[in-house]
Amino acid sequence: MEIKSYKKDAFYSYTLGAFPTLELILNHKESLLKILVHSSFKNEEVLAKIQEVSSICDIQINDKLISKLASKENCYIIGIFKKYEMKLNQNKDHIVLAQPMNMGNFGTIIRSALGFNIHDIAIISPCIDIFDPKVLRASMGSFFSTNIQIFPSFEAYQKMYPNRKTHSFMLQATKTLQNHTFQKEIPTSLIFGNESSGLDLSYLNEDSLIIEHEKSIDSLNLPNAVSIALYEFYKQKRS
């Protein structure tokens, strides 16, 4: 198998760096194809963990291929894996992202979500390529502990995961996150629109929430808004 720089239609993707590669090994061993190690990499602890999977995947010292895949970045370990399918957990809380378009933002959201104990993210297409190495890098390896499932429409998501409390975050909402008390007993979905246009008015209802802020800015940046909502939700769930 010849490994080329990532393309959306490839059946594989790869992690850049030791930390995300260890997360890949820890959570998705079954999808490992190959691990590339740079000849100058000497961290014994990491090498030992990589060695543990030598029976199920090829481990190769290949500086040339690393430099090709990592392009400009300093990178000493690359984990190549087969893309896999994920399903959300019906009984857990979800984030729903409608048409996310920025890979760095999406990776950052995955990281915050995991920090606040959300392991399930629904995406309404069209959207970024969730397996792009840029997403994996921005998620700092959190990608591999998260279930991500893409739906053609919000209705399709609701049909597959019914009977949930849903809160759409919208500038048009009248209830504020600051004054809201979440119901703890029922699985909840927190819904966010994309970077430029937010959610359309079909998402607006009596459970919609706005993160109250000064009029001097139009809106918060998407990962910041999602992180704030997750913080408040997590805080209430644990209190």
List interacting residues with its own copies (CB under 8 A): 108, 111-112, 114-117, 140, 142, 145, 178, 211, 213-214, 216-218, 220-221, 223-225, 227-228, 231-232, 234-235, 238-239
Neighbours of 43 (CB within 10 A): 12
**Closer by beta carbon to its own copies, 9 or else 218:** 218
Q: How far is the CB of 106 from its own copies (least distance, A)?
A: 12
Give me the DSSP letters along 131-188: T-HHHHHHTTTGGGG-EEEEESSHHHHHHHS-S-EEEEB-TT-SEEGGG----SSS-E
Residue 77 has φ and ψ, to the nearest 5°, of -135, 135
Per DSSP bridges, beta strands 94-98 and 120-124 are parallel
Q: Please report how close the Cβ of residue 111 comes to its own copies at its closest, in angstroms.
A: 6
Which CB, 28 or 150, lies closer to its own copies? 28
Nearer to its own copies, 29 or 235 (CB): 235
Q: Which residues of 116-135 are buried (b: 16+ CB within 10 A; e: fewer)?
A: bebbbbbbbeebbbbbbbbb
By beta-carbon proximity to its own copies, the closer residue of 62 and 142 is 142
* Minimal distance, residue 186 CB to its own copies, in Å: 22
Least Cβ distance, residue 64 to its own copies (angstroms): 28
